[in-house]
Amino acid sequence: MVTGLLARLVAAAERQTARRRARISPGELDRRVAAAPPPRDLVAALAAPGLSVIAELKPRSPVKGPLTGDYQPVERALAYVRGGAAALSVLTHEEGFGGRVEDLAAVRAHVGVPLVRKDFVVDEFQVREARAAGADAVLLIVAALTPRRLAELTEQVHRLGMTALVEVHDAAEARTALAAGARVIGVNHRDLRDFTLHRDLTARLRPLVGAGRPLVAESGVRGPRDAGRLYGEGADAVLVGETLMRSADPAAAVRALARATALPRTP
């Protein structure tokens, strides 16, 4: 059962989806999906040597409030790419994070790296809407879905040519993600049910995820020191939001994270 903050965020996403669904016909959505630019390969983008950075765009946090006084998603995205971001995560959740699907479409027109739609996705409409807006990948959260629903949405994401970045919080969820066919696993150190942080999750889950599948470490990355530690523990990439959104020089901040590969990997 989905509980706590996660349940409230999912409910808000469902309200947002209902409003957006009412404004577009199925035929128009089909037309936009067909007209969308071809998906870019997130797995390939994360395969480069060293630590890849997925830089996140979000104007606020549902717990910490505003992260920037002037949210300009395209300008911020361009700065991230200048800094060497391998991919971008774009929050489209309105009530909790202040994002919009339109932000995703705007960024897609200006950058050449893969874009992840980050939201609380529980519905096929959200997946198709992501593709219509130019998303190359979609975040799916195991804790927000039944195993059957996760498998159905993962299959739909892949059928549309995108990549499912499947987010887990423990070993049981990691097994569920693998059984659903996840090609990229995101290990979220922050439990969205109570917002507690568990910094050892990447090290614990890397052996379970296996060496042949990219692992993205999410949440709690405050700078190069954290990024380097996670790389040493087996992360192929870090997804960083708050730290980069608060930075006065986001390009330099991304560059510093990407260089944080000094620690040896755990065998």
How far is it, in rounded angstroms, from Cα 114 to Cα 127?
16
Q: Is the pLDDT score of 193 beyond 80?
A: no
Average pLDDT rounded to a whole number, residues 163-188: 97
What b/e sequence results for 13-52 when a residue is b if at least 16 CB atoms lie within 10 Å of its CB, and e otherwise? beebbeebeeeeeeeebeebbeebeebbbbeebbeeeebb
pLDDT in tens, 91-125: 999 998 999 999 999 999 999 999 999 999 999 99
Q: Active-site residue numbers?
A: 56, 58, 118, 167, 188, 218-219
Q: How far is CA 110 from the centre of its chain?
A: 19
56 Ramachandran zone, left/alpha/beta (phi>0; psi -120 to 50): beta
Query: Six-digit token pair at 244?
Result: 């980069």
Report yes or no: 103 and 111 within 8 Å, Cβ to Cβ. no
pLDDT in tens, 13-58: 999 999 999 999 999 999 999 999 999 999 999 998 899 999 999 9
Average pLDDT rounded to a whole number, residues 203-220: 93
Question: For the chain, what is the mean pLDDT?
Answer: 93
Q: How far is CA 79 from the centre of its chain?
A: 18
Whole-model pTM? 0.94
How far is it, in rounded angstroms, from Cα 226 to Cα 73?
25
Least confident of 215-219, 238-242, 263-267: 263-267
Residue 214 has, within 13 A of its CA and on its CB side, a CA count of 27
Q: How much of the chain, in percent, has pLDDT values that exceed 90?
A: 84
Predicted confidence at residue 63, as pLDDT, reads 82
Report yes or no: 196 and 190 within 8 Å, Cβ to Cβ. yes
DSSP 3-state assignment of 249?
coil
Predicted confidence at residue 194, as pLDDT, reads 67
CATH number of 4-258: 3.20.20.70
Q: How far is CA 4 from the centre of its chain?
A: 21
Please enumerate in sequence order all residues whose Cβ is within 8 A of that of 173, keeping only pairs 6 or more positions apart, or say none.
Answer: 142, 143
pLDDT in tens, 121-158: 999 999 999 999 999 999 999 999 999 999 999 999 99
Q: Which of 126, 119, 9 is nearest to 57 (CA)?
A: 119
- H helix runs in the chain, sequence order: 4-21, 26-35, 42-45, 73-82, 94-97, 101-108, 124-132, 147-159, 171-179, 201-209, 224-232, 242-245, 250-258
Predicted confidence at residue 262, as pLDDT, reads 47
